[in-house]
Amino acid sequence: MSERVDRTFLNPGLVSLIGAGPGHPDLLTIRAHRALQKADVVLYDALLGEGFHALFPKGALAIPAGKRCGGLGATQAEIHELLLEHAWAGRRVARLKGGDPLIFGRGGEEAAFLEAAGIPFELIPGVSALQGAASAAGIPLTHRGVSREIRILEGHHLLEAGTDWPELARSKATLAVYMGTRSLKAVARKLLEHGASSDLPIALVECASWPGQRTTISTLRLAAEGHLCPLTDGPGLVLIGAAVSARVHPLQPSSFVTLSHEPSSAFPRSEGEAGAAGGGRERRAG
Amino acid sequence: MSERVDRTFLNPGLVSLIGAGPGHPDLLTIRAHRALQKADVVLYDALLGEGFHALFPKGALAIPAGKRCGGLGATQAEIHELLLEHAWAGRRVARLKGGDPLIFGRGGEEAAFLEAAGIPFELIPGVSALQGAASAAGIPLTHRGVSREIRILEGHHLLEAGTDWPELARSKATLAVYMGTRSLKAVARKLLEHGASSDLPIALVECASWPGQRTTISTLRLAAEGHLCPLTDGPGLVLIGAAVSARVHPLQPSSFVTLSHEPSSAFPRSEGEAGAAGGGRERRAG
């Protein structure tokens, strides 16, 4: 293009609110990948793995955003400011968010902000932590004769808000607790106190689809007693319910690092997910 | 390769249980797309759109499967037989299922069958109807101060099983009813009878991400009175809860056909989702 191209834009650019999926870059959708390729600016969740950077277009401005990133874009208001600034300069902005933008991702808030500001945006759905963890761990979320409902919950909120624990303890649903690692013990204890079965299976799936992915299977009683512990610093999803017992053992992508793990206590047994050679079966705790 | 390559396989092939996403082929993940490219046999849900066929590798055997396809693979037992036959012949089989394989997809059953038969398999998660519908309709599934829980339910099962309706009617969660079109009126009536607010917003999202995608917004009362009707024969997801009111209006992919629709009754107002030129805002029913 000529140097004389007018760079004064009269119209705002387009913001793509993109679900990046559960962690591994190849769990991006084709549509998400295409939108990313067209971006002038990539505003990405600081928690996304390194692998995503290779997908950013050369020359695009890449800005980490989110609570852990420290710098600009650390607060939701700052993220809104950045979206506004770049969109009003006529740029195509890819806002890359972990999981799906409309599940615990504040995508709804960002979209509402853009709409109010008159900036066009598109929503590109993503594989959420729910599906990422289920496929990684081989746990069916629904299963005929076992579970016909999934409840997507948030660990912190469950403990803070007026949760109807007796009702939750009675539920036959598969409970999927997002950001579930820290609240795990307290949630298990509450469910037990309100009548859930002590041998109800519970799975902690960490770093689903990332290298270092771990699945630990235990029971509600053992979890309530503090024996189900995180093995990583990565994101964890907790699955509770009878469907956890229907677990299968899929092959894992060959790019995965196989980690060995010797638990310090006999409970719970844990496994490092197997590499391409296929899965060793772990014993169930309890 | 030479003609003398031994084609007698001693080992079974690999089955990839793949989530195809909510409908549009570009909502496949990159991993799913890659697995599909390597397949010798594609056993695909008969309900998947035509667009997927272009992604099947040339020369691969493509077999439709599922209740509506009529021929081979119409029952779950026949699908298992087909998986077995081709895997034991050493072929790579892509089992392509709508949405995510572990959410209402019987992926757990197929995986358990393969495991019992000693056939290696991998699980590739997909964008589920939940995320597909939410992004298509611009409805946040969780929203700060509004909803911090999502309940994934199935229309038919809700009405058949011993659903705790008072509890469901009290819930602050976003209810997502899969295969929700036929049961819509009865579910709305049950929720109303058990104390849910008559002006609770409800959305029917049809053919999410497909050409011809439609979103209709109404209230629980109008839905219970039969005024929220499907406009297509395609799959429908029903979203119920306060978060529906936080709806935004994203641009739609340019490949979408814009349909105009003049509802025969004043209620509910419906919209054909807009084309690339951007979304007109519809008025809310009620």
Residues B86-140 pLDDT 10s: 999 999 999 999 999 999 989 999 999 999 999 999 999 999 999 999 999 999 9
Going by the DSSP 8-state scheme, the letter that residue A53 receives in this structure is: G
pLDDT band at A69 (very low <50, low <70, confident <90, very high): low
> Given this model, what pLDDT does residue B6 score?
46
> Nearest 10 degrees: CA dihedral of A126, B122, B37, B21?
-30
Write out pLDDT tens, residues A190-225. 999 999 999 999 999 999 998 889 999 999 999 999
The answer to whether A245 contacts chain B (CB < 8 Å) is no
Adjacency order of strands within the sheet including A174-178: A270-272, A214-219, A201-206, A236-240, A174-178, A150-154, B150-154, B174-178, B236-240, B201-206, B214-219, B270-272
pLDDT, average across residues A72-97:
92
> Given this model, what pLDDT does residue A274 score?
35
> Given this model, what pLDDT does residue B254 score?
53
**Looking at this protein, which amino acid is placed at residue A235?**
P
d(CA B274, CA B213): 9
Instruction: Determine, for residues A250 and B31 on separate chains, whether the beta-carbon distance falls below 8 Å.
Output: no
Residues 6+ apart with CB under 8 A from B210: B23, B24, B49, B234
Handedness of CA A138, B237, B246, A158 (dihedral sign): negative
Instruction: Provide the 3-class DSSP secondary structure of residue B112.
Output: helix
> Nearest 10 degrees: CA dihedral of A37, A38, A40, A43?
-60
Nearest CA in chain B to A149: B153
pLDDT, average across residues B50-58:
91
| Complex-level ipTM | 0.87
Contact residues, chain B, for A250 at CB < 8 Å: 17, 111, 121-123
**Do A41 and A93 contact (CB within 8 A), yes or no?**
yes
The answer to whether B250 contacts chain A (CB < 8 Å) is yes
The region, left, alpha or beta by phi > 0 then psi within -120 to 50, assigned to residue A172 is alpha
Residue B7 above 60 pLDDT?
no
Domain B129-272 part of CATH 3.30.950.10: yes
Residue B236 above 50 pLDDT?
yes
pLDDT band at A50 (very low <50, low <70, confident <90, very high): confident
Number of cross-chain residue pairs from A and B with Cβ atoms under 8 Å apart: 219
* Chain CA centroid to CA A170, Å: 26
Instruction: Give the DSSP H/E element, type plus range, for residue A93.
Output: strand A93-97
> Given this model, what pLDDT does residue A269 score?
37
**Do B151 and B103 contact (CB within 8 A), yes or no?**
no
Catalytic one of A26, A38, A67, A164: A67
Q: Start-end ranges of CATH 3.40.1010.10 in chain A?
A: 15-124
The answer to whether B156 contacts chain A (CB < 8 Å) is no
Instruction: Provide the 3-class DSSP secondary structure of residue A266.
Output: coil
Residue B282 above 50 pLDDT?
no
d(CA B286, CA B284): 7
Q: Going along A4-60, which residue ranges are E strands?
A: 15-19, 41-45
Residues 6+ apart with CB under 8 A from B212: B206, B232, B234, B257, B259
d(CA B52, CA A57): 27
Q: Start-end ranges of CATH 3.30.950.10 in chain A?
A: 129-272
Going by the DSSP 8-state scheme, the letter that residue B114 receives in this structure is: H
pLDDT, average across residues B46-75:
83
Higher pLDDT, B19 or B12: B19
d(CA A260, CA A280): 11
Catalytic site residue A67? yes
Instruction: Provide the 3-class DSSP secondary structure of residue B42.
Output: strand
The answer to whether A275 contacts chain B (CB < 8 Å) is no
| pTM assigned to the model | 0.87
pLDDT, average across residues B62-68:
82
Domain B15-124 part of CATH 3.40.1010.10: yes
Q: Going along chain B, which residue ranges are E strands?
A: 15-19, 41-45, 61-65, 93-97, 121-124, 150-154, 174-178, 201-206, 214-219, 236-240, 270-272
pLDDT band at B256 (very low <50, low <70, confident <90, very high): very low
**Do A221 and A246 contact (CB within 8 A), yes or no?**
no
Average pLDDT, chain B: 85
Letter string b/e over residues A78-107, b meaning 16 or more CB atoms within 10 A of that residue's CB: ebbebbbebbeeebbbbbbbbbbbbbbbbb
| Token pair of B124 as six digits | 């590739």
**Do A120 and B251 contact (CB within 8 A), yes or no?**
yes
Residue A281 above 60 pLDDT?
no
Whole-Å CA distances, B64 to A128, A215, B12, B56, B113 = 27, 34, 22, 12, 19
